[in-house]
Copies of this chain bind each other. A is one copy, B any other.
């Protein structure tokens, strides 16, 4: 809740109707002591003090909330800047070889939840290629709620997914779980994915700011859109401008689905930020027969891409088989997604 403004900071301090003239004056003095210009707006009942300035140091708006006579403090400046569309109005397009994420084409990323064997990824890669995917997904390190779950194949799995992707002309996206894995992963993947549970693993984000490789940043289960953009800001501030945002469902009181897929986050993020926005309906829904409606909805709402779990033998999957599409389902879905994309002037990118 503290911010170091690299740029400009606006804040409003609402005084209580009972505040004395001396209390108002003290707050103005405190505001100016922090290097702001103060603007008083005196109503008949109460006073509001605006503060604006370029501040090189740091402070916490709540510091004013504890001063005598203050009713509340409202921060008006967004805490993120590099991620904001106000500061970069044109869309960011992340270009990886021939694949452009954030342009007119809607990008399909598909593959198994977890890499289970060389045979498995080799079987799935041509299926997702045939369905129009340009990027192969698959996890080598799995963050599991329970310590008794399968934890992934590690580097060996990355070798298999890279081989399978190369054979079929696909790119690779895979999750990095810990900063120590980054150098090794750079040898295998085209996009480094940050999982929802790591969205605020700030050490990891800082290190990702220093690499020259696109990052797919998933929204945390209980992260606001502003917090997602602040996490993107960590990466951008380090010098890496290729950040792809991903909506994957949030946690709410409703437990009929695994998560609540926040469809409106897609158009709202595209207003707040210039970064591409993709959606992960598989994790949001958690059960196969709801993935297709959610995927269609995401494209209709303006998503720049989708990341979908597909398995050739979901009943034997080591992870999340129940939410993986069958090969024939992804073929059918892909056709529908292209048709919906065309309604809003886009296509599924081939």
Contact = CB atoms under 8 A, between A and B. Distances in A.
Contacts of A66: 287-289, 314-315, 322
Interface in A237-264: 237, 250-258, 260-264
Interface stretch (A94-102, A103-111, A124-132, A218-226): A218-226
A285 B264 contact: yes
Given A3-B149, A145-B230, 18 more contacts: A2-B146, A2-B149, A3-B148, A8-B44, A8-B46, A12-B48, A12-B50, A41-B50, A62-B287, A148-B237, A224-B255, A250-B252, A250-B254, A254-B262, A267-B294, A271-B289, A296-B343, A336-B343
A270 to B, nearest CB: 9
A4 B146 contact: yes
Contact of A222 (B63, B74, B251, B263): B251
Contacts of A149: 2-4, 58
Q: What's the number of copies of this chain in the assembled complex?
A: 4
16 contacts: A2-B149, A2-B318, A43-B53, A46-B86, A63-B322, A144-B202, A146-B233, A177-B202, A197-B201, A222-B222, A250-B260, A252-B260, A253-B255, A257-B264, A261-B264, A297-B297
Interface in A269-287: 271-272, 284-287
Interface string A295-326: 01111111000000000001100111111000
